[in-house]
Amino acid sequence: MKFFDDFVKLIKEHIFTKDTKIIRQNIDFNKLNKEFELTTPPTPISDEEVINYLKKYLNYSVKTNQPGFLQSLWGGSHIPAILGELLIASTNTSMYTFDTAPVATVIEKSMISKLTDLIGWGKGGGTFTSGGSNGNLLGLLCARNYSFPEYIKKGNLGKEFQIYISSESHYSIENAAKIMGIGIENIIKVNCDKNGKMKVQDLEKEIKNTLNNSKIPMCVVATGGTTIRGNFDPINEISKVCKKYDIWHHLDAAWGGAALFSNKSQYLLDGIDKVDSICWDPHKLMGLPLICSTFLVKNLSNLRAIASCEKDPSYLFHGKENNFDLGKTSLACGRRADVIKLWLTWLTLGTEGWAKRVEYCLDMASYLEQIVKQHKNLELMSSREFTNVCFRWVSKEINEIDEFNIELRQKLVANGEYMVSLAQLEGVQILRPVIAHPTITKSTLDGLIIEIETIAKSLSK
């Protein structure tokens, strides 16, 4: 018990310490490796020694719950969700059967219904997954089953399927297509406009090309909140094209799904009710600790078709209520009850709490965007729809602007007070801070800009 209390005390400190200045220690792999002196001891070490490891772990971990963490599409955590992790581990169960996880099954079904209601599907279904990448894979698998159900028994039979993504889609879709044997050459990257949105006319041209080449148009993947810009594809327009050619429409809303909560941002996802499947990560803007991710499908039978076996495995699905066994709509066998984190947090925030969170993050992004627009050395590199703010440092005196911005970001991270992402937009290096959690305030953003100015000045000398 003392060990438990000591452990929890340190974790509590980590959670409740506010405004930690240094969010990342500047230490390289070899030094860190040495510092830790990691062992797998043949005999137990003392509790104190374990606690010492914990102290070091906390010290050297990036403080992703602090305002200076502006790097990723996630950050911070809700207390109920952290406690939910403890509950999940303490009641250690697997989501495959109602027998094994009765209460978590009821909760998961209810949370999925809540999300599909918000989408406007009424009915619908889904599952919790190991992340948005997995959700995108499920979307493509459902698409193949829709366009060629025979593949389940006979394989692809030499058919060539093509999928359409945008040049700004997340890389997980390419990986999913590789896993499925679609072939990289059959991933068609549709051009985007200057705001990073898929050009619908070009999409239609590509589909016609596919048909002229006797290939099968299998899936159009739209993105609701792209990784770098945070912009949204024209879902409604894309849906019309999908309907016209009878193609599965998957929406990668891993990042932007949360926009549905606020009536100020719902318009971004206009047409979401018309798509066939969606991946949506509550572990991103909704701030649940990784992993908490959903795959949602308008017609659950499509998911069941790809995720269940011809014959139920006799060792698993034999409970009296096996109609409620969620293992039949999941690629996973053993699966954590990640839904608990979503449920507990929803109880304590209410639906209005999600809306406030989204609106706050959007307000902060707008504040940062204004600073960038008014700054003589900052150039906004993309229009902004969500909470990603893409910019770079510019000055007439700098010859290699890309190199300069790469170095600037390196120094920023090395200084330890802020982390922002470095990315490329149309081949140009940019900085991409993102507002993913509400510990970030206006003063955080003012501080970030001052830090960037100081580093830029020192690099210019």
Tokens of 385: 């729809």
CB atoms within 10 A of CB 367: 17
Largest CA distance in the chain: 74
Axis-axis angle for helices 339-374, 79-90 (nearest 10): 150
Q: Report, in Å, the least distance between residue 124 CB and ligand PLP.
A: 20
State yes or no: residue 190 binds ligand PLP (CB under 6 A): no
Confirm if 425 and 390 have CB atoms less than 8 A apart.
yes
| Cβ-based nearer residue to ligand PLP, 188 or 288 | 288
CA atoms within 13 A on the CB side of 365: 27
| Cβ-based nearer residue to ligand PLP, 223 or 405 | 223
| Cβ-based nearer residue to ligand PLP, 167 or 209 | 167
Contacts 24+ apart (CB under 8 A), 423-427: 423/227, 423/228, 423/390, 424/228, 425/196, 425/228, 425/229, 425/381, 425/382, 425/390
Pick from 66, 105, 127, 133: which binds ligand PLP (CB under 6 A)?
133
- The region of 7-15, 209-217, 221-229, 294-302 touching ligand PLP under the rule CB under 6 A is 221-229
The site map against ligand PLP for 272-301 (x = CB under 6 A) is ---------x-----------x--------
In the block, residue with structure tokens 């018990």:
1
Q: Report, in Å, the least distance between residue 133 CB and ligand PLP.
A: 3
| Cβ-based nearer residue to ligand PLP, 282 or 438 | 282
Q: Report, in Å, the least distance between residue 230 CB and ligand PLP.
A: 9
Phi and psi torsions of 171, nearest 5°: -65, -20
| Cβ-based nearer residue to ligand PLP, 255 or 391 | 255
Pick from 223, 345, 405, 429: which binds ligand PLP (CB under 6 A)?
223
In the block, residue with structure tokens 């698998």:
141
State yes or no: residue 145 binds ligand PLP (CB under 6 A): no
Burial (CB < 10 A; 0-12, 13-18, 19+), residue 329, is: buried
List the alpha helices (DSSP H) in 259-327. Answer: 300-307
The site map against ligand PLP for 53-92 (x = CB under 6 A) is --------------------x-------------------
State yes or no: residue 391 binds ligand PLP (CB under 6 A): no
Q: Report, in Å, the least distance between residue 168 CB and ligand PLP.
A: 9
| Cβ-based nearer residue to ligand PLP, 258 or 456 | 258
Q: Scanning residues 155 to 174, which ones bind ligand PLP (CB under 6 A)?
A: 170, 172
Amino acid identity for residue 327 in this structure: G
Which residues have C-beta within 8 Å of that of residue 124, sequence separation ≥ 6?
Answer: 112, 113, 116, 296, 297, 298, 299, 300
Cβ-closest residue to ligand PLP?
A: 132
Q: Report, in Å, the least distance between residue 130 CB and ligand PLP.
A: 8
- The region of 76-84, 192-200, 250-258, 294-302 touching ligand PLP under the rule CB under 6 A is 250-258
Q: Report, in Å, the least distance between residue 293 CB and ligand PLP.
A: 5
Q: Report, in Å, the least distance between residue 182 CB and ligand PLP.
A: 17
The secondary structure element, H or E, covering residue 442 is helix 442-460
State yes or no: residue 137 binds ligand PLP (CB under 6 A): no
State yes or no: residue 387 binds ligand PLP (CB under 6 A): no
| Cβ-based nearer residue to ligand PLP, 227 or 330 | 227
Q: Report, in Å, the least distance between residue 107 CB and ligand PLP.
A: 21
Tokens of 241: 């094209």
CB atoms within 10 A of CB 191: 13
Pick from 131, 287, 289, 433: which binds ligand PLP (CB under 6 A)?
131
Contacts 24+ apart (CB under 8 A), 167-170: 167/191, 167/192, 168/192, 168/196, 168/223, 168/226, 168/227, 168/228, 168/229, 168/231, 169/221, 169/223, 169/226, 169/252, 170/132, 170/133, 170/136, 170/223, 170/226, 170/227, 170/252, 170/254
Tokens of 449: 């800009």
- The residue among 239, 235, 289 whose CA lies nearest residue 257 is 235
Total binding residues toward ligand PLP, as defined by CB under 6 A: 14
State yes or no: residue 385 binds ligand PLP (CB under 6 A): no
Range 402-441 burial, b when 16+ CB lie within 10 A, else e:
eebbeebbebbbeebbbbbbbbebeeebbbbbbbbbbbbe
- The region of 11-19, 131-139, 201-209, 328-336 touching ligand PLP under the rule CB under 6 A is 131-139
State yes or no: residue 96 binds ligand PLP (CB under 6 A): no
Which residues have C-beta within 8 Å of that of residue 387, sequence separation ≥ 6?
Answer: 230, 285, 361, 362, 364, 365, 434, 435, 436
State yes or no: residue 255 binds ligand PLP (CB under 6 A): yes
| Cβ-based nearer residue to ligand PLP, 252 or 369 | 252
Pick from 252, 276, 385, 417: which binds ligand PLP (CB under 6 A)?
252
Q: Which residues bind ligand PLP (CB under 6 A)?
A: 73, 131-133, 170, 172, 223, 226-227, 252, 254-255, 281, 293
